[in-house]
């Protein structure tokens, strides 16, 4: 275990140490993206294009990063993005992540593909009460998974809609990534995966087999109406899909391309965020993720209309390098950098961060 004085000092250092210490299979699974990784890179590159104008000499005493989303108080406008199989990175897996997040009063969204039972993660730390689910092949199975999470104490659901099939992840295929025998999505064990027969002559496996088990807007509307808790839709990139989410009663949307892991050449999330916010209006909860590597990136996303952001790979790296302590430290670094950005731009509160402060270079 690393002592506090052996921890990386910067977010970049966390990334480098994690990348260099991971097995090649884990590196490919956690850090790579789909296809040629254009979208993975575009997410980060969009933030690099942002320019922010400082505003000195404003009164900053008593400022705060606190905010609220869906009526829930957040110490800072960031949450841990749902990602699978934390035990590949640390023996305590999702429990270490939840405790690291809890130490910073940051919420963690638990993935349906958690490698630890959801009841144990929920009980491990305060603030782990958002659960991410995938469509489980039928209304009944999806509701059953949602009810499992609600019974365990989760109170907000995130339905991920952008990965109906796995992306073509070249680096993962080349590295021969496979889950070790002692690793699985333990909470999904009771749901038998659909068994597909081989497609008939001239048929497509994707369109004539898998596609028959995928959800449509009516299914999602049914889920939103049936569960008695807020449901956010994760994986929105088109303004009309955001408007549809509003119309079916979703509590919010998460602008996301799954961290560039599904459709390579999907747009960078930061680039589409403003048009989505414009379409649904400034009061509707629009969150975003993808490519956030620094606290200043959080500032930029908020300025362009996000109410909060989700953090994926920086937390992956914190967990890989130093478990619970690493997660906590990464979150602290992000929040400290956000505070520096706010102070330099004359924003004493999250509501002070406005679109005119950021300019995206073409």
The residue ranges that bind ligand FNR (CB under 6 A) are 29-30, 43, 81-84, 111, 113, 132, 160, 234, 256, 258-259, 261, 289-292, 310-313
Please report which residue ranges of 38-187 form alpha helices under DSSP H. Answer: 38-48, 94-103, 118-124, 139-151, 170-175
Give yes or no for a contact between 248 and 216, defined as CB atoms under 8 angstroms apart: no
- The Cα–Cα gap between 143 and 10 comes to 42
Which one of 238, 258, 329, 359 is the catalytic residue? 258
> By C-beta, is 93 or 290 nearer to ligand FNR?
290
- The Cα–Cα gap between 166 and 168 comes to 7
Q: How far does the chain reach from its first CA to its final CA, in angstroms?
A: 45
- The Cα–Cα gap between 20 and 27 comes to 9
- The Cα–Cα gap between 109 and 132 comes to 6
Do β-strands 67-69 and 156-160 pair in parallel, antiparallel, or remain unpaired?
unpaired
Task: Please list the residues that pair with 52 across neighbouring strands.
Answer: 358
How does DSSP classify residue 187? G
> By C-beta, is 313 or 346 nearer to ligand FNR?
313
Tell me the two tokens of residue 217. 């807007």
| Residue nearest ligand FNR, Cβ-based | 312
> By C-beta, is 142 or 160 nearer to ligand FNR?
160
Smallest separation (angstroms) from ligand FNR to the CB of 317: 10
Residue with tokens 């992956």: 316
How does DSSP classify residue 56? T
Smallest separation (angstroms) from ligand FNR to the CB of 176: 16
Task: Please list the residues that pair with 80 across neighbouring strands.
Answer: 108, 311
Q: Residue 143: is it exposed, middle or buried by C-beta count within 10 angstroms (0-12/13-18/19+)?
A: middle
Tell me the two tokens of residue 136. 């489980």
> By C-beta, is 8 or 259 nearer to ligand FNR?
259
Residue 258 bears catalytic tag: yes
- The Cα–Cα gap between 80 and 285 comes to 17
> By C-beta, is 289 or 339 nearer to ligand FNR?
289
> By C-beta, is 171 or 332 nearer to ligand FNR?
171
Which residues are catalytically annotated?
A: 258
């Amino acid at each position: 275990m690393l002592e506090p004085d052996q921890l990386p000092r910067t977010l970049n250092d966390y990334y480098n140490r994690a990348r260099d210490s991971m097995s090649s299979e884990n590196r490919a699974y956690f850090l790579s993206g789909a296809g040629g990784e254009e979208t993975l890179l575009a997410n980060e590159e969009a933030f690099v294009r942002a320019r922010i104008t400082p505003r000195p000499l404003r009164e900053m005493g008593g400022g705060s990063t606190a905010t609220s989303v869906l009526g829930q108080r957040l110490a800072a406008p960031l949450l841990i993005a749902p990602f699978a199989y934390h035990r590949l990175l640390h023996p305590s897996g999702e429990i270490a992540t939840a405790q690291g997040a809890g130490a910073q009063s940051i919420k963690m969204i638990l993935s349906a593909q958690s490698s630890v039972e959801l009841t144990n993660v929920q009980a491990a730390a305060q603030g782990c009460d958002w659960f991410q689910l995938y469509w489980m092949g039928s209304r009944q199975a999806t509701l059953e998974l949602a009810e499992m999470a609600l019974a365990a104490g989760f109170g907000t659901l995130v339905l991920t809609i952008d990965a109906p099939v796995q992306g073509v992840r070249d680096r993962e295929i080349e590295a021969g990534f496979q889950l070790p025998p002692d690793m699985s999505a333990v909470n999904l064990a009771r749901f038998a995966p659909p068994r597909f027969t081989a497609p008939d002559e001239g048929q497509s496996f994707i369109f004539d087999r898998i596609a028959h088990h995928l959800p449509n807007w009516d299914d999602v509307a049914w889920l939103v109406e049936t569960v008695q808790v807020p449901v956010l839709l994760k994986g929105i990139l088109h303004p009309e899909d955001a408007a549809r989410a509003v119309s079916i009663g979703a509590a919010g949307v998460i602008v996301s391309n799954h961290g560039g892991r599904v459709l390579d050449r999907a747009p960078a999330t930061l680039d589409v965020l403003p048009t989505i916010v414009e379409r649904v209006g400034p009061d509707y909860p629009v969150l975003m993720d993808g490519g956030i590597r620094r606290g200043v990136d959080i500032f930029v996303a908020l300025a362009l209309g996000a109410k909060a952001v989700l953090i994926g790979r920086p937390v992956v790296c914190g967990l890989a390098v130093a478990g619970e302590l690493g997660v906590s430290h990464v979150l602290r670094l992000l929040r400290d950098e956000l505070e520096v950005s706010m102070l330099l731009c004359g924003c004493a509160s999250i509501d002070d961060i406005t679109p005119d402060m950021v300019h995206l270079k073409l």
